[in-house]
Amino acid sequence: MDEDMLRCVTEQGFAARTLPLPLYVRAHAEVLVPAADAGERLDLRAADIPLLDVAVAADRRGALRQLVERAAVLRIIRSGRGSLRGSLRDSDGDSGAGARDGSPPAVGAGDSHDEAVARAIYLELARRRAESGIEKGTLITGRDPAGGPEGVALRGVDGRIDCYLLGETAGVPAVGAVLRLDRLERPLCAVVCDLWERRGVERAVQAVLREFVVTTLPRREDTDRAPFPYGDFHDVVAVGETDFEVLTPRPPRDETGELRDRLRLHGHRARVRVLGPADRTALVACRLEPTAKSEPSTESEPVKRPTTDTEDDWRPRDVAALGLRAPRQLSLTYERDDVRIGRVYHENSKMRTAYGTLPVVDIAEMSPPARRLLGQAYRDFGHARRQYPMRPAGRPRLLTLDQVVRRRRSWAAMGDGELTRAELAHLLTLSYGTTGAAVAGQDLRLPLRATPSAGGLYSSDLFVLVDRVSGVEPGLYYFHPGKRLLQLVDDERTLAEVAEYTGYRERAGEAAAMVVYVGAFRRNQWKYRERGYRTVLLDCGHLAQSVVTTATSLGLVAHPMIAFVDDYFNAYVGVDGVEDAVLYLTLLGPRRTGDEAA
């Protein structure tokens, strides 16, 4: 489980946070940050967050596992026990003399002890292979239809990723990846070791993507460019080609046993120390040392690091020490639980297998009453004691579309005057009035309106809370789009009273009227089921934009507002908040005389 990996990070005194990647990068990234920056809070200051390390993998679990390993290495270094000298045991349980230099051991994490040991050995072997100098390799081809491994990592970019077999280290195959992009100052490289060569290709691609992500992160001005961790082997000479399909098809049945045998054959042994609990994520430190009696090895000799116990001679890829910081959007994030329900809804409202998840709707097979019902997408307060016709005479003088787009501002100053009844009539008619009809079947004419709607079902209703409109008494009205009437719903509350239940009380109090949008979910969920909730919200958004655009063209101010107390407004309008609910508000008012500013 991801939570086990995440817990292992926090138990080591750090925190992990998801790093948004460009859409052309097909991977998942997590960053290691100080524990104090664990909370994904809304921080409008966009404060700097130091990054201790970056991990890139195919999914979140893989990235978190890398952070577990790097957190352990960083903790070892900061504890001053860089080499864990004398504290490691080999795979047979014998205590060793420890490291011959001061570098930290490789650390591996996995679901089992054996998996963690294998990962640690692979990391140590890759480090040695990178240090030994890389001049030639065998190009790997045929990874995907594009002819290389970049198809699994990048899309739509001007460049490529080349992967190579780079020989063996202690009998274990090494795979290198080189990322070449035209806009990069230099190619990026990464090398991994893995008995399963196909997995090695995937890991090498993810490793080089990590280097690419690091180059894109902001850096403090007082720090130099990070040293290249893998050695710069982008000019490796391809001495041949091999198809991806002929690489080792699967890992050995006993991977750690095979690794141990190959290490012994090449004169090495692995010394291991358990760092983490075995009942959750296994975490081990590992170092390779020569055996007393070594057999000949065909691998190139690695460059030796100086023998020292000081922590500063070698560091893990700890980018915090190199001055990297999180991108600004990382501080504008949230806890996953804050949006869990929304994500569950979105997942359940997806349409799958074409239209197979929706019922097939054939209007011709409906009964005549059912067909007529489709054309009656409105409410009717026909017995209201006050009704006002909304059929304006003549055509209003409207701003051009260019003027509307440039002039529209939600916070434009409102004047103290009234809206005219004609202005309100034009606004409602041009934004949601019936503008025509469509023939559906032999006996059905569906009304068409000024605003689009999913399936022509018109799942939104308009209510208008009038305060200062000439010729219309204050109160809450329903706009009947077919009859073009304002029908009284409630006149016991004033706009000033209702404004108390919005997030901008003073601004709402300036308005001459307030448009209230009500979603009628039953009106389209019979057809679209779970996806119907999406369409209701989309319909409401279309309608609100029509209201705002039309109001601006009439020279009025329209201020959309989502800050309101749902239960209060649902009760005020008279809906239950389940089958029907208030979704949105728009404040309307005359533009202040002489005010043309944004």
Least confident of 1-5, 11-15, 172-176, 253-257: 1-5
Residue 277 per-residue DSSP state = -
Sign of CA dihedral 165, 170, 172, 176: negative
Instruction: Give the mean pLDDT of 341-369.
Output: 73
Nearest one of 593, 489, 480, 590 to 498, comparing CA atoms = 489
Query: Are 561 and 515 in contact, with CB atoms under 8 Å apart?
Result: no
Q: Is residue 192 a contact partner of residue 36, using CB atoms and an 8 Å limit?
A: no
pLDDT of 148 over the 50 cut: no
Average pLDDT, the chain: 83
Torsion of CA 541, 544, 550, 553, to 10 degrees: -90
- Tens-digit pLDDT profile for residues 282-319: 999 998 888 865 444 434 333 333 333 333 333 344 44
What percent of the chain clears pLDDT 90, i.e. is strictly above it?
Answer: 48
531-546 pLDDT, tens digit each: 899 999 999 999 999 9
Query: Can you tell me the distance from the alpha carbon of 11 to that of 69, in angstroms, rounded to the nearest whole number?
Result: 13
Q: What is the pLDDT of residue 132?
A: 84
User: What is the token pair recorded at 572?
Assistant: 């005020």
pLDDT at 264: 93
For residue 4, give both structure tokens: 């086990």
Q: What is the pLDDT of residue 86?
A: 43
72: Cα within 13 Å, side-chain hemisphere:
28
Q: Say if residue 108's pLDDT is above 80.
A: yes
| pTM of the shown model | 0.72
Task: Evaluate whether 3 touches 337 at the Cβ level (below 8 Å).
Answer: no
* Cα–Cα distance measured from residue 46 to residue 573, given in angstroms and rounded to the nearest whole number: 40
pLDDT tens, position by position, 53-104: 999 999 999 999 999 999 999 888 887 655 454 445 554 444 443 444 557 7
Instruction: Report the distance separating Cα 449 and Cα 89, nearest Å.
Output: 78
Residue 227: pLDDT above 80? no
Q: Give mean pLDDT, residues 475-504.
A: 94
Query: Does the pLDDT of residue 147 top 90, yes or no?
Result: no
Between 481 and 327, whose confidence is greater? 481
Is the pLDDT score of 223 beyond 90?
no
pLDDT at 105 over 90: no
Do strands 106-110 and 282-290 pair parallel, antiparallel, or not at all (unpaired)?
antiparallel
pLDDT for the residue 322: 55
Residues 91, 95, 100, 104, CA torsion sign: positive
Tokens of 134: 């890389």
Q: Is the model's pLDDT at 519 over the cut of 60?
A: yes
Maximum average pLDDT range among 23-27, 91-95, 119-123, 143-147: 119-123
pLDDT for 220: 66
Read off the pLDDT of each residue in 413-438 and give the average, rounded to a whole number: 92
pLDDT at residue number 199 = 94
pLDDT at 560 over 80: yes
Alpha-helix residue ranges (DSSP H) falling in 501-530: 505-510, 522-528
Task: Provide the pairing of β-strand 485-490 with 475-480.
Answer: antiparallel
User: H or E element: which one contains 66?
Assistant: helix 60-78
What's the CA dihedral at 109, 111, 114, 118 to 10 degrees? Answer: -40
Q: What is the pLDDT of residue 157?
A: 79
pLDDT at 343: 85
- End-to-end CA separation in angstroms for the chain: 51
DSSP string covering 106-133: EEEEESSHHHHHHHHHHHHHHHHHHHT-
pLDDT of residue 135: 87
The angle that helices 531-553 and 421-432 make with each other, rounded to 10 degrees, is 140
Measured in degrees and rounded to the nearest 5, phi and psi for residue 185 equal -65, -35
| Mean pLDDT calculated for residue range 171-199 | 92
Q: What are the C-alpha distances in Å from 547 to residues 431, 451, 505?
A: 5, 9, 21
State the pLDDT at residue 447: 80
Q: In sequence order, which residues have a C-beta less than 8 Å from that of residue 422 and are 6 or more positions away?
A: 392, 393, 396
What residues contact 270, with CB distance under 8 A and at least 6 apart?
90, 91, 117, 120, 121, 259, 260, 263, 286, 287, 288
**What integer pLDDT is reported at residue 145 of this predicted model?**
46
Q: Is the pLDDT of residue 278 over 90?
A: no
Q: Does the structure show a pLDDT above 50 at 336?
A: yes
pLDDT attached to residue 587: 98
Residue 88: predicted pLDDT: 53
State how far the alpha carbon of 190 is from the alpha carbons of 64, 144, 167, 235, 242, in Å: 19, 20, 14, 13, 19
Q: How far apart are CA 66 and CA 277, in angstroms?
A: 17
For the four alpha carbons of 115, 119, 124 and 126, in that order, the dihedral sign comes to positive
Q: What is the pLDDT of residues 230-241, one digit of tens each?
A: 557 778 889 999
Q: Can you give the pLDDT at residue 494? A: 95
Rounded Cα gap, residues 48 and 219, in angstroms = 11
DSSP character at residue 171: T
Cα–Cα distance list, 484 to 264, 387, 391, 439 (Å): 89, 10, 6, 21
Residue 6 pLDDT exceeds 60 = yes
- What's the burial of 275, exposed, middle or buried (CB within 10 Å: 0-12/13-18/19+)? buried
Percent of the chain at pLDDT > 70 equals 80
Beta-sheet pairing, 469-470 with 419-420: parallel
More confident residue, 327 or 302: 327
How confident is residue 109, by pLDDT bands cut at 50, 70 and 90? very high
Dihedral sign from CA coordinates of 343, 348, 354, 358: negative
Q: How confident is the model at residue 359 (pLDDT cuts 50, 70, 90)?
A: low
Res. 334: pLDDT tops 80? no
Greater confidence, 133 or 102?
133
Q: What are the pLDDT digits (tens) for 545-554?
A: 999 999 999 9
Which DSSP string corresponds to 201-224?
Answer: HHHHHHHHHHHHHHHHS-B-TTSP
